[in-house]
Amino acid sequence: MPLQSEFILETCELTKAFKGFVAVSSVNLKVKRGSIHALIGPNGAGKTTTFNLLTKFLAPTSGTITFNGADITSEKPAEIARRGIVRSFQISATFPHLTVLENVRIGLQRELGTSFHFWKSEKSLEQLNGRAMELLESVDLASFAKTVTVELPYGRKRALEIATTLALDPELMLLDEPTQGMGHEDVGRVVDLIRKVSANRTILMVEHNLGVVADLSDTITVLARGAVLAEGPYSEVSKNPLVLEAYVGSEQQ
């Protein structure tokens, strides 16, 4: 294990241009180990693009991304997942026609090393059921274990998504708008859940709901027009005149 630096994830001059339009421009981001870090900004600020660059679903035009001191700029999404960076998606990402238990097991089964074994019975996966049930219990879904996922209410699907992500025990969790499209009660449930799972790991999230951001995050990075506008704790950032202008300005449009 190399000497652990203070920052788990760093980007250096990260830039993404789409046919002349620069969506993300020279972003230098440092995510502190063990913190909850939020990425906010008005619509079109480049949050989701940055997020997709970090999770390798998009390739950057220039710049580097470093995770735990290793350059991961040119790695594939599945590779960084195996390094311990696991993402969630804006719209709940489950496997709808598998049961809730099977969903979590997909997250767990890769470690068995039998995922290419087409001649083996799926009963061999039952040894994972205990661990899967623990994970489901941690998100209050144990009683739904045998339900086909498509039948779960939306908030529950998000909880299942988090349980599946936790199955990989990621060092860094990337959450893409975890409370998007949720009713008030569900938001509270997910906020509690994020706080609970943030123990012993780092969380970087993109979030629109400023209440959630204020409540959860240690550090906030504000993006506007693809560049970093401000960074710091909520109390500082929320008073920054540039940030206020960016938000008010965008609301007037």
Here's the x/- map for another protein, 5-44, by CB under 8 A: it reads as: ----------------------------------------
Residues between 214 and 253 that touch another protein (CB under 8 A): none
Q: Applying CB under 8 A, does 78 fall inside the site for another protein?
A: yes
Structure-token match 């899967």, residue found = 132
Picking from 96, 94, 97, the residue whose alpha carbon sits closest to that of residue 139 is 94
Exposure of 215 by Cβ count < 10 A (0-12 exposed, 13-18 middle, 19+ buried)?
middle
- Residue placing its CB nearer to another protein in the complex, 50 or 94: 94
Tokens representing 135 are 């994970």
- Residue placing its CB nearer to another protein in the complex, 15 or 48: 48
49, 50, 109, 219: which one binds another protein (CB under 8 A): 109
Instruction: Determine the interface stretch with another protein among 5-13, 75-83, 132-140, 227-235 (rule: CB under 8 A).
Output: 75-83
Q: Applying CB under 8 A, does 151 fall inside the site for another protein?
A: no
- Residue placing its CB nearer to another protein in the complex, 93 or 227: 93
- Angle, vertex CA 86, rays to CA 121 and CA 163, nearest 5: 60
Instruction: Determine the interface stretch with another protein among 15-23, 24-32, 116-124, 241-249 (rule: CB under 8 A).
Output: 116-124
Cα–Cα dist 157/152, whole Å: 6
| E-state strands within the chain | 7-18, 21-27, 30-32, 36-40, 62-67, 70-71, 85-87, 172-176, 202-206, 219-224, 227-232
Q: How far is the CB of 194 from another protein (least distance, A)?
A: 17
Cα–Cα dist 64/117, whole Å: 37
- Residue placing its CB nearer to another protein in the complex, 98 or 214: 98
Residues between 154 and 173 that touch another protein (CB under 8 A): 164, 167-168
Cα–Cα dist 194/100, whole Å: 20
Q: Applying CB under 8 A, does 146 fall inside the site for another protein?
A: no
What are the residue ranges of helices labelled H in 95-209? 100-109, 129-138, 154-167, 184-197
What does the binding site for another protein look like in residue numbers (CB under 8 A)?
55, 57, 76-78, 81-82, 86-89, 93-98, 102, 105-107, 109-110, 112, 114-122, 124-125, 164, 167-168
